[in-house]
């Protein structure tokens, strides 16, 4: 039983990282109808910029701030100059954002080099607590806590604020929102930047969790984010949370008991769920659900 509890906690921590990445993608899908395959690159750059700042200043919190700023800047530039001209054209969105993903992944090597970079948790998050024979790793619990804070803050923003009302109204009818005198393009930009910031936050948290960062993590976790969004249901924040938990926990158990299937298990999970629920776990019409 203790083994299962430890594996489950590891899976929850992984799931929270995936949720932080997928939640931004959920918002972008739900409101903007944009297939952003460059989302994983925001995760990648958040990881590199944050870990670099952390290594230079020895302040993990400052590293998180730098990662968030990096994600917001890249999100702004990506929306303004890359995504904005291809609104409404999914084929062009896929091609151009996939190209940006590849370019940013290679440019990371130019800035920080091609080698794997070590990343360790800050001293105040190192170690673990023992409850009987159950090992509670501090950093993994920290990730779970941050993920829950972001989840509830996101639900509050979408359901309890005027901005959230505009976002949810934009999901239902963008044209009507514009007729009411609201600049929906600015709302689009805000959502894109928010999603980029969450992706970068996931990136900088991923570094100490895995112990290393490398240029391919953007593509690897970008694919996982799309799987989570599809499983959870397009536009559903709660669906993304549930799906991220499923992916994280199932991945943790598979990696421990059947390592050879750890790569394929997520695709099998997605296929199984879509057979019975083609619209995903929660087919929300509003991103606030």
Q: Does the pLDDT at position 139 exceed 90?
A: yes
Q: Does the pLDDT at position 19 exceed 90?
A: yes
Q: Does the pLDDT at position 100 exceed 90?
A: yes
Task: For the chain, give the percent of residues with pLDDT over 70.
Answer: 96
Instruction: Provide the pLDDT confidence category of residue 33 given band limits of 50, 70 and 90.
Output: confident
Average pLDDT over residues 260-286: 81
pLDDT tens readout for residues 190-215: 989 999 999 999 999 999 999 999 99
CA atoms within 13 A on the CB side of 281: 20
The pLDDT value recorded for residue 194 is 92
The pLDDT value recorded for residue 141 is 92
Q: Does the pLDDT at position 288 exceed 70?
A: no
H-assigned helices in the chain: 2-27, 39-57, 60-78, 90-112, 138-160, 162-172, 174-179, 184-210, 217-232, 237-257, 265-276
The pLDDT value recorded for residue 283 is 66
Q: Which DSSP category does 233 fall into?
A: -
Dihedral sign (CA 211, 215, 217, 220) = negative
CB 281 within 8 A of CB 242: yes
Q: Does the pLDDT at position 96 exceed 60?
A: yes
The pLDDT value recorded for residue 184 is 80
d(CA 53, CA 218): 19
Q: Does the pLDDT at position 289 exceed 50?
A: yes
Average pLDDT value over all residues in the chain? 88
d(CA 86, CA 35): 10
The pLDDT value recorded for residue 214 is 94
Of 158 and 41, the structure prediction assigns the larger pLDDT to 41
Coil, strand or helix at 117: strand
Q: What's the distance, Cα to Cα, between the start and end of the chain in Å?
A: 34
pLDDT tens readout for residues 49-81: 999 999 999 999 999 999 999 999 999 999 999
β-partners of residue 136 are 129
pLDDT tens readout for residues 142-178: 999 999 999 999 989 888 888 888 877 776 777 788 8
Instruction: Provide the pLDDT confidence category of residue 286 given band limits of 50, 70 and 90.
Output: very low
């Amino acid at each position: 039983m203790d083994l299962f509890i430890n594996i489950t906690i590891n899976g929850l921590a992984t799931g929270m990282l995936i949720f932080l990445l997928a939640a931004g993608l959920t918002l972008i899908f739900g409101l903007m109808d944009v297939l952003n395959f460059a989302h994983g690159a925001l995760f990648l750059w958040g990881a590199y910029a944050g870990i670099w700042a952390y290594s230079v200043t020895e302040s993990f919190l400052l590293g998180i701030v730098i990662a968030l700023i990096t994600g917001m800047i890249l999100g702004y530039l990506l929306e303004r100059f890359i995504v904005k001209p291809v609104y409404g054209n999914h084929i062009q969105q896929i091609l151009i954002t996939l190209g940006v993903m590849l370019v940013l992944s290679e440019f990371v090597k130019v800035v920080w080099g091609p080698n794997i970079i070590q990343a360790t948790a800050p001293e105040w998050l190192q170690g673990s607590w023992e409850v009987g024979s159950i090992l509670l790793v501090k950093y993994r619990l920290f990730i779970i806590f941050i993920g829950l804070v972001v989840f509830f803050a996101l639900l509050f923003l979408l359901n309890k604020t005027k901005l959230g009302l505009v976002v949810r109204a934009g999901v239902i009818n963008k044209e009507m929102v514009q007729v009411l005198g609201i600049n929906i393009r600015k709302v689009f930009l805000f959502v894109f930047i928010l999603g980029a910031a969450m992706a970068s936050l996931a990136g900088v948290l991923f570094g100490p969790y895995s112990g290393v960062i490398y240029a391919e993590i953007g593509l690897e976790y970008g694919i996982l984010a799309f799987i989570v969004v599809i499983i959870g249901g397009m536009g559903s924040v709660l669906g993304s949370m549930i799906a991220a938990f499923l992916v994280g926990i199932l991945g943790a158990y598979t990696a421990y008991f059947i390592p050879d299937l750890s790569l394929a298990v997520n695709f099998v999970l997605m296929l199984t769920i879509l057979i019975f629920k083609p619209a995903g776990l929660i087919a929300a019409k509003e991103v606030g659900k």
